[in-house]
């Protein structure tokens, strides 16, 4: 199976390397293109056999799956370039949350899916969020989920849930890393423990907690019950978190959703403008 990656920045490279490491893909079956060719060439150097081209159309041509790994505002240009070479048998996978499946289905003949990955896939873990367009058949879904399960746990979601699910699965590692950083810095400031030591302890704790919540079958509530004996230190700590965090997550969700809506409206404008300048037989959204 030939797979193309358009855009080999942070996430494009991470996906390629994770698929290679997992053994799901072989370098000879990957073709990558990127605006500045050096990034893709570095990948080819590290993985002999991986094909690199400066032309997005050439990369996509003949590939069964085409991953689009560019930033949202680069989509209209990339889609315009690819529209002429894509056909109805190919599966195009967008990894970007604000680009809507309807925007892509209106402009390309291919089957369209949206799969939001996470940096955790570089450790062959974490959930990938899968949203399927109207042309995706059960066998396409199986193929995509088989591929994604080599580096992650694929979870099918509705497109309307994309933002909140991405907040947790994809932005989550950055949010949790920020909390750990704050915690370690406070620990160092208030107790004299080394910041680096506190981070090692915290990282191991996160690793173990994640395992308990996944393969260990614990719910968050059970986990708290097992650690926090009534009247003990943990219970006192949870009471502090309870009162301090009460409004934090509502504010976080409000902020990410506001930014998402802004991105969506920019994209609608941009796709609309591309249409006016480009393909004449398309209808604006």
Ligand X SMILES: NC(=O)c1ccc[n+]([C@@H]2O[C@H](COP(=O)([O-])OP(=O)(O)OC[C@H]3O[C@@H](n4cnc5c(N)ncnc54)[C@H](OP(=O)(O)O)[C@@H]3O)[C@@H](O)[C@H]2O)c1
Closest by CA to 43, choosing from 15, 79, 72, 63, is: 15
Instruction: Tell whether residue 96 is a contact of ligand X (CB under 6 A).
Output: yes
Instruction: Tell whether residue 56 is a contact of ligand X (CB under 6 A).
Output: yes
Instruction: Tell whether residue 72 is a contact of ligand X (CB under 6 A).
Output: yes
Binding mask 35-54 for ligand X (x = CB under 6 A): xx--x---------------
* Piece of the chain touching ligand X by CB under 6 A; list 8-16, 152-160, 198-206, 211-219: 8-16
* Residue closer to ligand X, measured from CB, 37 or 223: 37
Map the chain to HEC letters: CCEEEECCCHHHHHHHHHHHHHCCCCHHHEEEECCCHHHHHHHHHHCCCCEEECCHHHHHCCCCEEEECCCHHHHHHHHHHHCCCCCCCCEEEECCCCCCHHHHHCCCCCEEEEEECCHHHHHCCCEEEEEECCCCCHHHHHHHHHHHCCCCEEEECCHHHHHHHHHHHCCHHHHHHHHHHHHHHHHHHHHCCCHHHHHHHHHHHHHHHHHHHCCCCCCHHHHHHHHCCCCCHHHHHHHHHHHHHCCHHHHHHHHHHHHHHHHHHHHHHHHHHHHHHCCCCCCCC
* Piece of the chain touching ligand X by CB under 6 A; list 1-9, 42-50, 247-255, 269-277: 1-9
* Residue closer to ligand X, measured from CB, 9 or 109: 9
Instruction: Tell whether residue 71 is a contact of ligand X (CB under 6 A).
Output: yes
Instruction: Tell whether residue 154 is a contact of ligand X (CB under 6 A).
Output: no
Which pairing describes strands 153-156 and 65-68: parallel, antiparallel, or unpaired?
A: unpaired
Select the residue interacting with ligand X from 93, 116, 151, 199 (CB under 6 A).
116
Number of residues that bind ligand X (CB under 6 A): 27
Instruction: Tell whether residue 7 is a contact of ligand X (CB under 6 A).
Output: yes
Select the residue interacting with ligand X from 25, 31, 86, 95 (CB under 6 A).
95
Instruction: Tell whether residue 266 is a contact of ligand X (CB under 6 A).
Output: no
Nearest residue to ligand X, by Cβ distance, number only = 9
Rounded to an integer, what distance in angstroms lies between the CA atom of residue 105 and that of residue 93? 11
Answer whether 176's CB lies under 8 Å from 206's CB: yes
Q: How far is the CB of 26 from ligand X (least distance, A)?
A: 23
Positions in 168-227 near ligand X (CB under 6 A): 170
* Piece of the chain touching ligand X by CB under 6 A; list 117-125, 206-214, 224-232, 266-274: 117-125
Instruction: Tell whether residue 155 is a contact of ligand X (CB under 6 A).
Output: no
Select the residue interacting with ligand X from 8, 90, 110, 152 (CB under 6 A).
8
Where on the chain is the footprint of ligand X (CB under 6 A)?
Answer: 6-12, 33-36, 39, 56, 69-72, 74, 77-78, 95-96, 116-119, 170
């Amino acid at each position: 199976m030939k797979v193309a990656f358009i855009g080999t920045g942070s996430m494009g490279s991470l996906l390629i390397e994770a698929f290679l490491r997992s053994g799901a893909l072989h370098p000879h079956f990957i073709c990558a293109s990127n605006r500045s060719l050096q990034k893709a060439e570095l990948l080819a150097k590290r993985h002999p056999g991986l094909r690199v081209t400066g032309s997005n159309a050439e990369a996509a041509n003949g590939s069964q799956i085409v991953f689009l790994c560019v930033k949202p505002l680069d989509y209209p240009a990339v889609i315009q370039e690819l529209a002429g070479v894509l056909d109805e048998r190919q599966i195009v996978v967008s990894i970007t949350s604000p680009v809507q499946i309807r925007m892509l289905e209106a402009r390309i003949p291919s089957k369209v899916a949206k799969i939001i990955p996470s940096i955790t896939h570089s450790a062959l873990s974490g959930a990938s969020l899968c949203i399927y367009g109207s042309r995706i058949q059960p066998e396409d879904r199986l193929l995509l989920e088989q591929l994604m399960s080599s580096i992650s746990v694929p979870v099918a979601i509705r497109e309307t849930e994309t933002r909140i699910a991405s907040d947790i699965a994809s932005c989550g590692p950055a949010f949790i890393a920020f909390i750990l950083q704050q915690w370690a810095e406070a620990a160092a400031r208030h107790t004299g423990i080394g910041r680096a030591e506190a981070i090692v302890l915290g990282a191991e704790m996160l690793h173990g907690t994640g395992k308990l919540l996944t393969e260990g079958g614990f719910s968050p509530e059970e986990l708290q019950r097992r650690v926090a004996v009534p009247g003990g230190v943990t219970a006192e700590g949870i009471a502090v978190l309870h009162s301090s965090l009460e409004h934090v997550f509502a504010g976080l969700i409000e902020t990410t959703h506001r930014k998402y809506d802004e991105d969506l409206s920019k994209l609608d404008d941009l796709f609309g403008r591309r249409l006016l300048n480009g393909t004449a037989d398309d209808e604006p959204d």
